[in-house]
Amino acid sequence: MGVPHGIVVLDKPVGITSRDAVDHACMRLKTREIGHCGTLDPLATGVLVLVIGRARRLQELLAKSRKVYIARIRLGATSVTDDAEGPISVREPTPAPPAEELVRTAAARFIGEIEQRPPRYSAVKVDGERLYDLARRGVGIDAPIRKVRVYDLQVTAYHWPDVEMTVTSAGGTYVRSIARDLGEMLGTGGHLAQLARTESGGFKQSEATTLEALGPEHVLPLENALRHFPRIDIAAAQAVRLGNGAVVRAEVPVQSLISEEPLFGWVNGKAVALLANAGPQRVRSQRLLITLPELEQLAEQEFAAGQQSSGSGASYSDGERR
């Protein structure tokens, strides 16, 4: 059996790392060619999208996709790890519980493009080393502050000392950092007590499979992960030209021009290339998602179908056909 190519939407349980989940998937699917699209800490549960085989070419892009979390933040105490896993220090004397209006006003300040300092215990690298490795050796180094985007943050419940919220953010945003910074803003201290990722890249938890049930039948086509991105439907012959480095004319979707979202080229319902704008209504291939021989085979099939039924299928010129 060959290496599968595609994605798996996994429901990660509490208590294991994302790396552990990937290792388990490697054993279940009998391949080492697996990566994940956005770390979930051992404390966290929920949607972890895995990329398998050639789908790993889009791992970095998919890791940046929109994610939705349900979080419970505990005020009145801080943590070395900014979550419930680390040694926790309770504030003494016990701070006065802030009013709900104050909590909601403070939480709203995290919406938009914000500056955030990742936790000391995180996978962020400083001078080539991951912060959690440095922290475990007793080398306390703060990560550089970076910009992240929070699309929405709604406080759904507040009962001192717990704040429950739903966070929608771009990849790379640490909800642990939001918990820590909210506590600092309120003057009470705070840390992340519980976290569940309910959506990642458009995939919801209801679509996810468990580690115990995972099998080859749960590997979805890569196209499933790209369903929310702008696309251009092109002829296979055009795709071959793209694969050979040519710039081709195409009707670029307005959505892609306005949002600057990644743009993909599709041939007969199959995603074949990540595209880049190359001038007015022109694109070039930024990364092929299938091999050039596979593109050429698609072009031959398309040409044969066109010969049998004139006027059907995609249209292209004789120059493109060559």
Break the chain into its structural domains and give their ranges.
6-65+202-223, 67-200, 229-307
Of all residues in the chain, the percent with pLDDT exceeding 90 is: 70
Q: Is the pLDDT of residue 1 over 80?
A: no
Per-residue pLDDT, averaged over 174-195, amounts to: 97
Contact (Cβ atoms closer than 8 angstroms) between residue 250 and residue 316: no
At 183, is the pLDDT very low, low, confident or very high (cuts 50, 70, 90)?
very high
The lowest-confidence range among 82-91, 108-117, 159-168, 300-309 is: 300-309
- Least confident among 191-200, 214-223, 228-237: 228-237
Evaluate if residue 234 carries a pLDDT over 70: yes
pLDDT score, position 196: 98
What is the architecture, at CATH level 2, of domain 229-307? Roll (2.30)
For residue 255, pLDDT over 80 is answered with no
pLDDT digits (tens, 9 = 90+) for 21-74: 999 999 999 999 999 999 999 999 999 999 999 999 999 999 999 999 999 999
* Cβ–Cβ < 8 Å for 313, 306: yes
**Tens digits of per-residue pLDDT, 85-125?**
989 999 999 999 999 999 999 999 999 999 999 887 777 77
* pLDDT of 81 strictly over 60: yes
pLDDT of residue 314: 40
The reply to whether 67-200 and 229-307 are identical in fold is no
Contacts of 13 (CB under 8 A, 6+ apart): 45, 210, 211
Q: Is the predicted pLDDT of residue 201 greater than 80, yes or no? A: yes
> What residues act catalytically?
41
CATH ID of 6-65+202-223, from 3.40.605.10, 3.20.20.70, 3.30.2350.10, 3.40.50.11900: 3.30.2350.10
Instruction: Report residue 270 CA to chain centroid gap.
Output: 21
Res 308 pLDDT > 80: no
Q: What global pTM score does this model have? A: 0.86
Q: Can you tell me the mean pLDDT for 132-142?
A: 69
User: Does the domain at residues 67-200 carry the CATH identifier 1.20.1530.20?
Assistant: no
pLDDT, averaged across the chain = 89
